[in-house]
Amino acid sequence: MRLELREVSRRFPGVAALDRLSLRVEAGRIGCLLGPSGSGKSTALRCIAGFERPDAGEVFAGGERLSGGGDWVPPERRRIGMVFQDFALFPHLDVAANVAFGLRDLARAARRRRVAELLELVGLAAEARRYPHELSGGQQQRVALGRALAPRPRLVLLDEPFSNLDADVRTGLAQSVRAALVAEGATALLVTHDQREAFAIADEIGVLQAGRLEQWDVPWKLYHSPTTRFVADFVGEGTFIPGTVLGPRRVSTELGVIEGQLTREAPPGTLVDLLLRPDDVIHDDASPLAAEVVERSFRGAEFQYRLRLPSGAVALSFAPSHHDHAVGERIGIRLDARHLVGFPREGGA
Amino acid sequence: MDAASARAGPASVAILVALPMAAVVAAIVQGALGAEPALWDHLREYVLARVAANTLVLAVGVVAVAGCLGTALAWLTAACEFPGRAFFSWALLLPMAMPAYVLAFVAVATLDYAGIVPTALRAWLGNDLWLPPIRSAGGVVAVIGIALYPYVYLMARGAFLTHGARVLESAQSLGLGPWQGLFRVAIPLARPWLAGGMALVAMEALADFGAVSVFNYDTFTTAIYESWYGLFSVETALLLALVLLSFVALALAAERLARGRRRYTAADAGARAPLRLALPGFRGWLATAFAGGVFAVAFVLPAVALARWALAVAPFDLDGRYVAYVMRTLALAGMAALACLALAVALGYATRKPSAGRLAHAAARFATLGYAVPGTVLAVGVVTALGAFDSAWRAHLGGDGLWLSGTVLALLFGYVARFLAVAYGPIQGGFSRIRPSLEEAARSLGLATRELISRLHLPLLGAGIGTALLLVFVDVMKEMPITLMTRPFGWDTLAVRVFEMTAEGEWERAALPSLAIVAAGLLPVALLTWRMERAARAA
């Protein structure tokens, strides 16, 4: 069911953990709050779950007001499932009993059916009689998901669900978590600081900083059309180079005139910082433009070079791994940018 | 929920649980301060000096004996290797099952002038042989010190085990021999634990009633009992109780201080399996003889004596009355254990989060102070407080009933005040292992507060509940002064029987109930050693 937050604020002594946060996740969609630690994303989740009481604003689930305007629904009556960062499995119960924990209103047969269905869904049918401490981290995480989904909650919240897991199981698990949520038709909101997790699971992502929502968008647009400098910096890799707006679709830079739609219109003559993603800068030995290699990191299939442009600005570039250049070498580059993301020059006129 | 209302609930629960203790302390302070000045002067002149000196000698002496024995034995079993070490490392805890008053009457019965040991020695070495009298300050101190050394042993052993090996190695690498390592590094490092153990011993020594009664050694506890029963002077008893209470406060402050520092010197759990210093040949056997000697004197010999005497009197002493003693003891211990458990769970639940607030935590600390308050003091306070309650009831609501005074409820009131801390320890430990996220998970799955306790907390507390029940049960079985002073007419328990028989010098007849108490006392010791073994295997 649809989740909506309207101007939700929560202050802790000295800091505003949430500052008038508004967002909406439509029924059946998977949203994500992405942000660095301390950005308020966990507080947002706890306000939705009912473990924190917002100081102001309203929280709605499927049209019912859960908090705000004098209403307060306690967490146990919200029908909102939650997957905790530490999984919070009940150590005294086996896997099946953990999943069945929220199902006590069902008749015994129906309960057993539902538990079997969910264990199948999260791929743990064979582990039904094991205890949490006998499971791997990834398995525990799937039990936590099954347990949260079992009572068919209006909404599932996932708090940094992969941060306690090894890197190599994360990606695969993220895909299976998404598959399970989609199969159940669940509406979900995930909180993470890891953009790869966000991209792998979410339909829409909101970037949170210092308790404020910077941008709420689909992943692709977040990467290619960030609307604030923080989002541009935080999501994906990239650097800024100085440029001057020439016209509606043209910006002049030291790498030549770049054509493309500017995310935000600016009058000719405006000085801008133009965002360059590593995939916008192509290594080309034939190109007349050259830049000096300041740093390189080998990533197997490719090199990522950190380049110093003649003006001193820095750009990143991917190159196939047989293009092996030493630090200090000058290499040819050319631009292949389709969309222009520019922000008014910091401190400039 | 705003912070103030989030704290109000826990604070009111904690304060409610702290009420019995508060009533007791208030009754003592109010009664003592209301006493006539003349009484005060009389006390100071005739009683206080002797009793205070005796009590002080007892406390200091017992701490010295128990401290030396406990530390030495702990060092030997934790950091040295000698024949029988593995056996002694748990066997040396068994004397915990032997109440000091049992050891005391066994000692007096066997070592007094007419006892079997001096008689045998005189027959062997001649009638002129001088032996130190057991009925003396030295005798009491030695016997109670031997009875209480396991507290120090337990704490010191834990400290030595966790950083014993590493300390030895680093001391050796700096050119210190093993004995220098002990005195210059290991003992200073373990000092907070040693101090904690010795503070416990000091509190037990101050609280002791049964053992000093056997020796006719007058301390505050016996003086309180005497003025209560012998002189029927409630005010004298209350005054003495107040003075003893301030002694206890000192010991308690010392213990708090030691515990405070212990937090900062937390031993490293990641230590490897302890490396032990082998005591070769003669020195190893010397260690065996020492450990074996203490074990024999503190446990084996008294147990054998008890068993022989009990067998001797059983044919004519073991009758229907015994069934009644046992049933009453079990009933009281069971009721007290359940009451303490219920209150401990309420207290643990109320204070399980740091956000419960300072008031709630302070009330919890106060509610559990009883373990440090001697039973005689508590008994005087309980009777006074309940008497005041009854007369207030009569004054305002009429009738002539004694609602609480002289009932089983009064007895339970005293037990709860004294032993709540014993139940609270394991319960609080259990609550601290239940992460906040578990509670939130249960809530998000639809559990209201009432169900949280029954479906989440109680099942997860499982082992802690068992431990709490067992510890309170056994402590109540052993308890003497509260039972003696507040029991309803006819409610004689095993411990009361021991007191009455020893008061008449009927040692053999005291052995029968003592044996039952010691047997029950072995249960928590077995649990403790089993836990220690498991922890050692897990490390």
Rg over CA atoms, chain A: 24
Structure confidence at residue B336 (pLDDT): 94
Cα-to-chain-centroid distance, residue B253:
17
**How far apart are the C-alpha atoms of B326 and B320, rounded to whole Å?**
10
Q: Are the beta carbons of A236 and A249 closer than 8 angstroms?
A: no
**How far apart are the C-alpha atoms of B437 and A178, rounded to whole Å?**
23
Q: Are the beta carbons of A202 and A30 closer than 8 angstroms?
A: yes
Residue scoring higher pLDDT (B189 or B226): B226
**How far apart are the C-alpha atoms of B206 and B225, rounded to whole Å?**
14
Q: A151 touching B, CB under 8 A?
A: yes
**Residue A96's pLDDT band (cuts 50, 70, 90):** very high
| Confidence check: pLDDT of B6 > 70 | no
Contact yes or no for A90 and B435 at CB 8 A: no
Give the count of beta carbons closer than 10 Å to the beta carbon of residue A86: 16
| Confidence check: pLDDT of B301 > 90 | yes
Structure confidence at residue B163 (pLDDT): 66
Structure confidence at residue A140 (pLDDT): 93
B460: closest chain A residue by CA? A92
**How far apart are the C-alpha atoms of A95 and A305, rounded to whole Å?**
48
pLDDT tens sequence across A100-143: 999 988 899 999 999 999 999 999 999 999 999 999 988 999 99
**How far apart are the C-alpha atoms of A223 and A234, rounded to whole Å?**
10
List all residues of chain A from 302 to 321 with a beta carbon under 8 Å from chain B.
Answer: none
Among A154-163, A172-181, B10-19, B103-112, the range scoring the smallest mean pLDDT is B10-19
What value, to the nearest 5°, has the Cα angle with vertex B151 and ends B150 and B153? Answer: 60
Contact yes or no for B446 and A88 at CB 8 A: no
B433: closest chain A residue by CA? A91
What value, to the nearest 5°, has the Cα angle with vertex B64 and ends B201 and B520? Answer: 35
Chain B: nearest CA to A315, how far in angstroms?
44
Q: Are the beta carbons of B529 and B97 closer than 8 angstroms?
A: no
Pick the residue of A10, A78, A101, A157 with the most B CBs within 10 A to test the interface with B by mutation. A101
Neighbour-count burial of A307, counting CB atoms closer than 10 A to its CB (0-12 exposed, 13-18 middle, 19+ buried): buried
Chain A: nearest CA to B234, how far in angstroms?
52
pLDDT tens sequence across B362-414: 888 888 888 888 998 888 888 888 888 888 888 877 766 666 777 888 899 89
3 state SS for B245-281: HHHHHHHHHHHHHHHHHHHHCCCCCCCCCCCCEECCH
**Residue A253's pLDDT band (cuts 50, 70, 90):** confident
In degrees rounded to 5, what are phi and psi of residue A6? -120, 110
Structure confidence at residue B262 (pLDDT): 52
| Confidence check: pLDDT of B146 > 50 | yes
**How far apart are the C-alpha atoms of A104 and B130, rounded to whole Å?**
78
Structure confidence at residue A82 (pLDDT): 93
Chain A residues in contact with B460 by the CB 8 A cut-off are: 90-92
Q: A3 touching B, CB under 8 A?
A: no
Chain A: nearest CA to B465, how far in angstroms?
15
B448: closest chain A residue by CA? A76
For residue A139, give both structure tokens.
Answer: 């398995």
Cβ-Cβ pairs closer than 8 A, A with B, add up to 61
Beta bridge partners of A16: A11
Q: Are the beta carbons of A119 and A166 closer than 8 angstroms?
A: no
Q: Are the beta carbons of B456 and B442 closer than 8 angstroms?
A: yes
Average pLDDT across chain B, whole number: 84
Chain B residues in contact with A101 by the CB 8 A cut-off are: 442, 445, 455
Q: Are the beta carbons of A243 and A323 closer than 8 angstroms?
A: no
Identity of the residue in B1, B435, B444 whose CB atom sits nearest the CB atom of A80: B444
Structure confidence at residue A108 (pLDDT): 92
Identity of the residue in B437, B445, B447 whose CB atom sits nearest the CB atom of A86: B437
Chain B: nearest CA to A209, how far in angstroms?
25
Structure confidence at residue A55 (pLDDT): 92
| Confidence check: pLDDT of B447 > 80 | yes
**How far apart are the C-alpha atoms of B98 and B296, rounded to whole Å?**
13
Q: What is the mean pLDDT of residues B10-33?
A: 83
Complex confidence, ipTM: 0.80
| Confidence check: pLDDT of B173 > 90 | no
Closest CA to A34 of A165, A279, A230: A230
Residue A329 three-state SS: coil
Q: In what order do the strands lie in the sheet with A56-61?
A: A15-25, A3-12, A56-61, A64-68, A71-72
Chain A residues in contact with B6 by the CB 8 A cut-off are: none
pLDDT tens sequence across B339-369: 999 999 999 888 887 777 788 888 888 888 8
Identity of the residue in A53, A86, A151 whose CB atom sits nearest the CB atom of B445: A151
| Confidence check: pLDDT of B10 > 90 | no
B458: closest chain A residue by CA? A92
Chain B residues in contact with A147 by the CB 8 A cut-off are: 441, 445
Chain A: nearest CA to B445, how far in angstroms?
5
**Residue B444's pLDDT band (cuts 50, 70, 90):** very high
Identity of the residue in B435, B447, B462 whose CB atom sits nearest the CB atom of A88: B435
Chain A residues in contact with B1 by the CB 8 A cut-off are: 53
Percent of chain B with pLDDT strictly greater than 90: 27
Residue scoring higher pLDDT (B139 or A249): B139
Cα-to-chain-centroid distance, residue A203:
10
Average pLDDT across chain A, whole number: 88
Contact yes or no for A53 and B1 at CB 8 A: yes
A34's enclosing H/E stretch is: strand A30-34
| Confidence check: pLDDT of B264 > 50 | no
**How far apart are the C-alpha atoms of B350 and B357, rounded to whole Å?**
10
Q: Dihedral of CA A250/A252/A258/A260: which sign?
A: negative
A241's enclosing H/E stretch is: strand A239-247
Buried b (16+ CB within 10 A) or exposed e, A271-299: bbbbbbbbebbbbbeeeebebbbeebeee
**How far apart are the C-alpha atoms of A202 and B173, rounded to whole Å?**
59
Residue-level length of chain B: 539
Contact yes or no for A76 and B440 at CB 8 A: no
Q: What is the mean pLDDT of residues A332-346?
A: 80
Structure confidence at residue A164 (pLDDT): 78
Q: A147 touching B, CB under 8 A?
A: yes
Q: Are the beta carbons of B215 and B109 closer than 8 angstroms?
A: no
Pick the residue of B1, B437, B445, B458 with the most A CBs within 10 A to test the interface with A by mutation. B445
Contact yes or no for A82 and B446 at CB 8 A: no
Buried b (16+ CB within 10 A) or exposed e, B204-226: bbbbbbbbbbbbebbbbbbbbbb
| Confidence check: pLDDT of B272 > 70 | no
Residue scoring higher pLDDT (B493 or A165): B493
A81: closest chain B residue by CA? B444
Percent of chain A that is helix, strand, coil (3-state, to 5)? 25, 35, 35
Pick the residue of B444, B458, B461 with the most A CBs within 10 A to test the interface with A by mutation. B444
Structure confidence at residue B430 (pLDDT): 86
Q: What is the largest CA-CA distance in chain A?
A: 75
